[in-house]
Structure 1
Amino acid sequence: MMAIACSLCDPRDATVIANTWPGQGLLGQWAQRLTELRIDVDLSGRDIQREFEALYDRIRTNHRTRDAMQPLPLHLHGLVFRLREADGEYFVYAIDPQRNRIVAYTVFNRLVEVDRRTDRHLRAPHTKVVDGYRRMGIASAIYRWWLDSGRSLITGARQSAGAHGLWMALARDYELAAARIDTHKRVQQLPLPPPPGFFNALDTRLVLVGRDCRLADFMQHAGWGG
């Protein structure tokens, strides 16, 4: 599984989100408990830019990869979005056609921690955005495209402060659930708000349920235990 650091927004945004959620105090408090989050390693903007330049060169020179990329109907700040699928994982590239470069990259990862039944229904998103393009809503647009298609998301073993803030914002429009992955790779639902120490354990995750999907139906199809 590819591990990608997420640099979506200033960590202070999570507190702003929490303070602007009327009637959602318990969920909003999650965004203020950033010290409990399992934080990803953050990369410098220069490191990400070099990685994206190498990635763009590989795409341009590999005709199989280039031909496998499909356009996405996303319209944001003049960017062009392309989708590629490989081995059940999905890769979305945001390209600035004026500068002819990749400016953001999202991978929807499969999780080796879950069983095959759950694997059919959940992907863990991770995003990188280069300097100058952050806080433009790129990751939010990509995640909403995924969720609006009826597919669901699960957090990985670690989540950055920015990613957590984004999830809390998305939870205003999509059903949110807490879960634990047991030793048999089965996913068990946990009550909301999550129990103390939830963010400290590597086997606990958050789930966003896709559009027009009921959590009860999702649990049945994915084989969740209560």
Structure 2
Amino acid sequence: MTTFALPFPPTLAYPQPPPLRRLRGALAACAAGIRRAPRMELRIDVQHPQEAIEAELDALHRRLHGADDALQRCTVLPFPFPDLLFRHREADGEHYVYVEDAARGRLAGYTVFNRLIEVDRLTDRHMRSPHSRYASAYQGRGIATAVYEWGLDTGFCLLSGARQSTGAHALWQALGRRHPLGYVAIRDKRLHYLGTEVASPLREDLNTRLILRGKGWSLERMHALGLLHADAAAANQALRRRA
């Protein structure tokens, strides 16, 4: 399949708050989730102007519908959104999911499952770092969540970026209520498992990331295959005891 490179670096997704009529239920569900799960936070300091996102999506849609119509060469994925088309392609081990609103002639958004230059070859075979952008009219509908679920069901484990937006952080927390979520530290191109809670100094370290385990991946299997290493866990426990 012909490679079709993006003209810009992908960034994290920005789901918006739900409509007011659903706000009370969403807040209640969020509070319940906080009571059930340990606190999972990273550096939340990313902001992108929505106008810039909309402009990028318009430009990308025109390019994808150019003379060779790259979107038509993509595989259409079955997703429970009847008004949208989810088109998938793979290039050099990276997976691109473009979400198109064909009736309105626009790109609703996209998610790219990037390979990781920070890890070794063995880890790179099974890990991807998802980055997304969605137009404001399509945020809050669970579209990005469904695409990330597709990646996890495909068998990939997902690794967060060094920084997150508020929306991306909320998305990872929501996924963490349905999929195993933990912390890892990247050291010497290897992932060192830290557990489901980390001490504040480690949480602020740019090498500390969130990891979502995909379908079929247990901690035991990942340790056995050399995808996770445990030698950083003791340091994390010592820091937590001192905190």
Q: Normalising by the residue count of structure 2, what TM-score does the alignment of the two structures yield?
A: 0.81
Aligned counterpart in structure 2 of residue 24 of structure 1, from 36, 56, 63: 36
Farther off after superposition, 72-81 or 120-129 = 72-81
Aligned counterpart in structure 2 of residue 145 of structure 1, from 150, 169, 173: 150
Structure 1 residue 5: Cα displacement? 3.9
Aligned to 1:2: 9
Aligned to 1:37: 43
Give the secondary-structure state (helix, strand or coil) at the position aligned to 1:197.
helix
Aligned to 2:235: none
Paired residues of 1:17 and 1:169 also in contact (CA < 8 A): no
Aligned to 1:211: 215
Paired residues of 1:81 and 1:95 also in contact (CA < 8 A): yes
Aligned to 1:161: 166
Counterpart-to-counterpart distance in 2, 1:71 and 1:158: 31
Aligned to 2:119: 114
Q: Over alpha carbons, which structure has the higher Rg?
A: 2
The alignment status of 1:195 with 2:202, answered yes or no, reads no
Cα RMSD for the two superposed structures: 2.5
Letter paired with 1:122: M
Counterparts in 2 of 1:15 and 1:62: CA distance versus 1, 3 Å = farther
Task: Name which structure has the greater RCO, CA cutoff 8 Å, separation 6+.
Answer: 1
Counterpart-to-counterpart distance in 2, 1:137 and 1:63: 31
Counterpart-to-counterpart distance in 2, 1:195 and 1:18: 23
Unaligned runs of 5+ in 2: 1-7, 231-243
Aligned to 2:64: 59
Equivalence map 1:85-100=2 (5 Å): 85-100=90-105
Paired residues of 1:5 and 1:43 also in contact (CA < 8 A): no
Paired residues of 1:151 and 1:209 also in contact (CA < 8 A): yes
Give the secondary-structure state (helix, strand or coil) at the position aligned to 2:229.
coil
Counterpart-to-counterpart distance in 1, 2:93 and 2:64: 19
Counterparts in 2 of 1:141 and 1:20: CA distance versus 1, 3 Å = same
Counterpart-to-counterpart distance in 1, 2:81 and 2:149: 13
Paired residues of 1:176 and 1:207 also in contact (CA < 8 A): yes
Letter paired with 1:82: R
Aligned counterpart in structure 2 of residue 83 of structure 1, from 88, 99, 107: 88
Aligned to 2:233: none
Unaligned runs of 5+ in 1: none
Counterparts in 2 of 1:160 and 1:22: CA distance versus 1, 3 Å = closer
Structure 1 residue 49: Cα displacement? 1.5
Paired residues of 2:10 and 2:133 also in contact (CA < 8 A): no
| Fraction of identical pairs, as percent | 35
Counterpart-to-counterpart distance in 2, 1:185 and 1:119: 10
Give the secondary-structure state (helix, strand or coil) at the position aligned to 1:90.
strand
CA deviations over 1:32-90 (Å, ceiling 9, x no partner) = x6xx52422x2222211211111111111152733541111112251110011111111
Give the secondary-structure state (helix, strand or coil) at the position aligned to 1:147.
helix
Letter paired with 2:43: L
Give the secondary-structure state (helix, strand or coil) at the position aligned to 1:156.
coil
